[in-house]
Structure 1
Amino acid sequence: YRLLKDAKNQSGAHFDEKTGRITADPALWKNILTSHPKAKKFCNKSFPLYEALGELYDGQTAEGTYNYTSTQLPDLTQVGNRDEFLNIQHEQDEVEETL
């Protein structure tokens, strides 16, 4: 997706929703292929999921207290119910031991 997004963002290129392809003149495609050689297969091949992937990857990013990656344990100090916090803290300790 990112490769096609970079190609589409070149001046003179655009994504044709009807064909599911990036359209550009041959000189522009030559420039795109210099920067992104893997884009060659998309010169004549459609990529119908481009718009859907744009919604997925270019959407909102979580921020704030409850933002953490899949490799991080969440910060549980903000949990409102003390019993819930103790339960989760115990589970977190077990996960840390396992890791």
Structure 2
Amino acid sequence: MLVEALLRQRQDGMQISNGNCHVDAWSSAETALPGTETHTGGATKMGASCQNWWAALKKEYCEVKNLCELSGFGWDNIQNLVTANNNVWDSLLTVHPKLKKWCTISFPLFDEMADLIEGTYATGAGVYLPSHDFTPSDDDSDREEDAIDPFL
């Protein structure tokens, strides 16, 4: 319901360029969500809690998106689930055990979240690390260890 409210707010011009919303949009989201605590078992939704929940959803979206972009991973549009064979998962989870939940948990808001934030958040692409030599040599221009880890 929060994502639907934010989509409406974007249509009304309440989204700013970094994928976040104007302060008024959070107040509007608050007024769009009365009574939802009876369905979720949570507290009454306030503007600040909507903003915090949005930040958490945005983080989860980025994790799922980054997973889907890794070699060996994919996306099941029917189940809204990250897919990979067990060997690929095992290899990733040795480095990033916190991502284990995405082996079995679906993310049904993926398309709506993409619509709201795609192109509005920092990805690390093109980042400059002064201590890193980015000059490719003939034999190691595609080495995986030179890639920036999207989960750090």
Instruction: Could you tell me which runs of 5 or more consecutive residues in structure 1 were left unpaired when the two chains were aligned.
Output: 62-99
User: Matches of 2:65 and 2:95 in 1, distance apart?
Assistant: 13
User: Matches of 2:102 and 2:118 in 1, distance apart?
Assistant: 21
The answer to whether the Cα contact below 8 Å between 1:20 and 1:50 also exists between their aligned partners in 2 is yes
How many residue pairs get aligned? The number is 61
Once the two structures are superposed, the pairs formed by residues 75-94 of structure 1 within 5 Å of their partners are: none
Instruction: Could you tell me which runs of 5 or more consecutive residues in structure 2 were left unpaired when the two chains were aligned.
Output: 1-60, 122-152
- Residue 89 of structure 1 aligns with which residue? none
User: Matches of 1:40 and 1:27 in 2, distance apart?
Assistant: 13
Name segments (4+ residues, structure 1) moved above 3 Å: none
User: Matches of 2:84 and 2:78 in 1, distance apart?
Assistant: 15
- Greater length-normalized contact order (CA 8 Å, ≥ 6 residues apart): 2
User: Matches of 2:96 and 2:112 in 1, distance apart?
Assistant: 22
Q: Are 2:105 and 1:49 aligned?
A: no
CA RMSD, aligned part only?
1.9
- Residue 23 of structure 1 aligns with which residue? 83
User: Matches of 2:73 and 2:96 in 1, distance apart?
Assistant: 14
User: Matches of 2:62 and 2:76 in 1, distance apart?
Assistant: 17
- How many angstroms does 1:35 deviate by? 4.1
State TM-score, norm by structure 1: 0.53
Secondary structure of the corresponding residue to residue 82 of structure 2: strand
Secondary structure of the corresponding residue to residue 34 of structure 1: helix
Report the identity percentage.
36
State TM-score, norm by structure 2: 0.36
Structure number with larger C-alpha Rg: 1
- How many angstroms does 1:32 deviate by? 2.7
- How many angstroms does 1:8 deviate by? 0.7
- Residue 74 of structure 2 aligns with which residue? 14
